[in-house]
């Protein structure tokens, strides 16, 4: 049985300097939520640079660097034009594991294609001189399959210890059964090298008609992707239809069932696929939210600033406007604590900072970067 702790009351505390922090209760103690930066337009992703500054993606098509005092840089130069429609645009950013030496970053975004947009991933170098910009830009991957009108876009990335990239690709709210077919990238997670090639040990290489980049399939709209530092396993979180938002542990060659099974129903109330939540040959989620909270962004908390959260999985929520903390024991989720509900902010991304604080991106036209620590 799941235990949900709903905590929502808050208090505004004023600083002598005139700034204000919001204080919210939690099982770990009162939380202080500080505004680090504001004035961002639909910020989608956050990466910490080695010196503690932040690189932030704005969905309409801008990258900015945020200074320690919260100042926003002008938009970086040479960022490609994006297909900024509905949920699509400039989305995830990822620093290469050797960024300190190479200055390499990866960007997942929607580019215009005939009839709509498709996901692309580029590799570039971040140049910071008198004209900060991207340089040596190479598009290393493009999604194959029907284009999107900006819905169910996916577009989260992580880089493994072997340097290969995992990228989530949504089902584009199109023909659902494509997520079950291996001749396209719709509703898939792909695994590619930093140059965009399919690694030789990908599971479907050599399968006639299968695209070699595919790692896992049967997914709907994955909005969170992260390695659990406790065991190195890859966790994914995705939007269901009406109900049935899922958390999955992603494994090689596995089928996660969409659109044949779901804990939710179609938006018109009709059953999804078989009308069942599970079936033979399909990997079940380890958690689902019904009704849907529209989760987005994952972080596994390993810091010391909020000791009560250590080992927890943190998830933003768009629809329910909250932060969901899931208490873990191995691969099992024991209970959920719902936080920051009265803040009334759609949370697009969740990150642990190098200082051990939790950072959130709020999803609106006046987006903010928030920093969470204990109030005492």
**For the chain, how many residues are written?**
376
pLDDT at 21: 87
pLDDT in tens, 245-298: 999 999 999 999 999 999 999 999 999 999 999 999 999 999 999 999 999 999
Q: Give yes or no for residue 3 having a pLDDT over 80.
A: no
pTM reported for the whole predicted model: 0.94
> DSSP string covering 7-59, please?
----EEEE-TTS-EEEEE--TTSPEEEEEEEEEESSEEEEEE-TTS-EEEEET
Q: What is the average pLDDT value for the chain, to the nearest integer? A: 94
pLDDT at 68: 87
72, two tokens:
């926003």
Mean pLDDT to the nearest integer, 200-223: 97
pLDDT at 20: 59
pLDDT at 339: 98
pLDDT in tens, 189-198: 999 999 999 9
Task: Report whether 66 contacts 53 (CB < 8 A).
Answer: yes
310/329 Cα distance (integer angstroms):
12
pLDDT in tens, 286-296: 999 999 999 99
pLDDT in tens, 5-39: 433 333 333 332 334 589 999 999 999 999 999 99
pLDDT in tens, 340-354: 999 999 999 999 999
45/367 Cα distance (integer angstroms):
12
- Beta bridge partners of residue 326, listed in sequence order: 313, 336
Query: What is the four-CA torsion angle of 58, 60, 62, 63, rounded to 10 degrees?
Result: 30
Percent of the chain with pLDDT over 90: 93
pLDDT at 59: 98
Q: Give yes or no for residue 324 having a pLDDT over 90.
A: yes
Helices and strands, counts by H and E, the chain: 1, 26
Task: Report whether 358 contacts 299 (CB < 8 A).
Answer: yes
3-state secondary structure of 262: coil
Helix (H) or strand (E) holding 118: strand 116-127
CATH architecture type of domain 4-374: 6 Propeller (2.120)
Domain ranges for the chain: 4-374
> DSSP string covering 91-116, please?
EEEEE-TTHHHH-EEEEEEEEEETTE
Task: Report whether 119 contacts 146 (CB < 8 A).
Answer: no
Of residues 15 and 124, more confidence is placed in 124
The DSSP letter of residue 299 is E
Q: Give yes or no for residue 48 having a pLDDT over 50.
A: yes
pLDDT in tens, 135-154: 999 999 999 999 999 999 99
Buried b (16+ CB within 10 A) or exposed e, 200-239: eebbbeeeeebbbbbbbbbbbbbbbbbbbeeeeebbbbbb
Of residues 174 and 59, more confidence is placed in 59
């Amino acid at each position: 049985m799941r235990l949900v702790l709903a905590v929502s009351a808050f208090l505004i505390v004023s600083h002598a300097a005139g700034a204000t922090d919001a204080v919210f209760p939690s099982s770990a103690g009162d939380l202080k939520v500080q505004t680090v930066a504001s004035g961002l337009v639909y910020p989608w992703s956050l990466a910490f640079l080695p010196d503690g500054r932040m690189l932030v993606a704005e969905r309409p098509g801008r990258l900015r660097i945020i200074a320690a005092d919260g100042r926003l840089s002008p938009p970086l130069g040479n960022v490609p034009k994006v297909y900024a429609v509905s949920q699509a645009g400039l989305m995830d950013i990822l620093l290469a594991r050797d960024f300190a030496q190479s200055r390499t970053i990866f960007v997942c975004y929607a580019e215009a294609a005939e009839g709509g947009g498709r996901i692309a991933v580029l590799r570039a170098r971040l140049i910071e001189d008198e004209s900060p910009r991207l340089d040596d830009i190479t598009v290393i991957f493009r999604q194959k399959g029907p284009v999107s009108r900006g819905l169910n876009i996916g577009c989260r990335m992580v880089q493994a210890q072997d340097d290969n990239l995992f990228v989530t690709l949504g089902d584009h709210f199109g023909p659902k059964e494509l997520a079950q077919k291996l001749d396209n990238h719709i509703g898939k997670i792909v695994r590619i090298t930093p140059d965009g090639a399919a690694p030789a040990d990908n599971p479907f290489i050599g399968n006639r008609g299968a695209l070699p980049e595919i790692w896992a399939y049967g997914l709907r709209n994955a909005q969170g992707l992260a390695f659990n530092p406790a065991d190195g396993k890859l966790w994914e979180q995705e939007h269901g239809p009406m109900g049935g938002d899922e958390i999955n542990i992603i494994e090689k060659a596995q089928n996660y069932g969409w659109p044949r099974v779901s804990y939710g129903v179609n938006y018109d109330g009709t059953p999804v696929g078989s009308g069942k939540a599970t079936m033979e040959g399909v990997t079940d989620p380890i958690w689902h939210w019904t009704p849907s909270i529209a989760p987005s962004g994952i972080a596994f908390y390993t810091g010391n600033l909020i000791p009560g959260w250590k080992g927890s999985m943190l998830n933003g929520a768009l629809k329910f406007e909250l932060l969901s903390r899931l208490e873990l024991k191995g691969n099992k989720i024991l209970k959920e604590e719902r936080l920051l509900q009265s803040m009334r902010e759609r949370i697009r991304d969740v990150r642990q900072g190098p200082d051990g604080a939790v950072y959130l991106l709020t999803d609106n036209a006046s987006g903010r970067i928030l920093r969470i620590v204990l109030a005492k």
